[in-house]
Structure 1
Amino acid sequence: MLVIGLLYPMRRLERWLHQHLFKVGWLFTKNLRRTTILYYCLFLPGVVLYEFVYWLVAGLLNVRAEATFAWPETQESAELKLNFVKLGKNVGEVKLAVISLSPLLVGIIVITLIANNILNVPEFLEIFQPDPL
């Protein structure tokens, strides 16, 4: 229940963050096309990981996936439209669920690995632990 209760506030926080990042980009460029490209470049590592895992899992499950690359269309809203890989029409519900959830799971694993092995977050958090008397 706690996870379900946290999903709504997290989604609202994500939307707020995306809107403000997009607005800051617009303040720098004053051009929606450039702002859109800057916005996608900011999230490029995550977009590449998401689309690659999506395409890879679709291939592993023997689902036809077509990779299409096109520059993002000019946007007026702060939304990442991740549609660079398109799946075939006759995909089963179970396969679609596995393909759709796999980028999330891989993303969590990658973030955990970066936090623990590169950024050394556990060592950083030890600084804030009270000293034993």
Structure 2
Amino acid sequence: AQRNNGRNYFNDYLDIHQMLGLTIQIGNAHIIVHLTPIKDLEIMIMDEKLNKNFYKALHLVLQTFVDDLKEYSFSFGMFLPPMNESSANGHQMPVVCRLVFRNPVTNLRSDMHGLDLYTVYIQRTYNV
């Protein structure tokens, strides 16, 4: 944040999605529907730390997709701040969880492949 005029990427990302009505707040946890998802049905959960509200938000997302939308297959990734960093020493990275709901496992064809995940990085690297 010090190198970016006091701005924090994660706070700005959350603010934009809140302004557009794409978030649900549970305590300090935020469920975010991506403005630019990697794949349909991608959800992000952000909070300052792992706590009860973060787990409530995660449970709500999974329960909604399984019970209401009958989506049972998903990929899940989670990013944690470095263990020795905290907001007290200027570190501002939140806990971030990303969920991408996938096609049913009974489908013979895959719904995602490497190009879905990495094409944007190839384009940026080679200025395509």
Give the alignment's TM-score, normalised by structure 2: 0.28
Structure with the higher fraction of residues in strand conformation: 2
Which one scores higher on RCO, CA 8 angstroms, separation ≥ 6? 1
Structure with the higher fraction of residues in helix conformation: 1
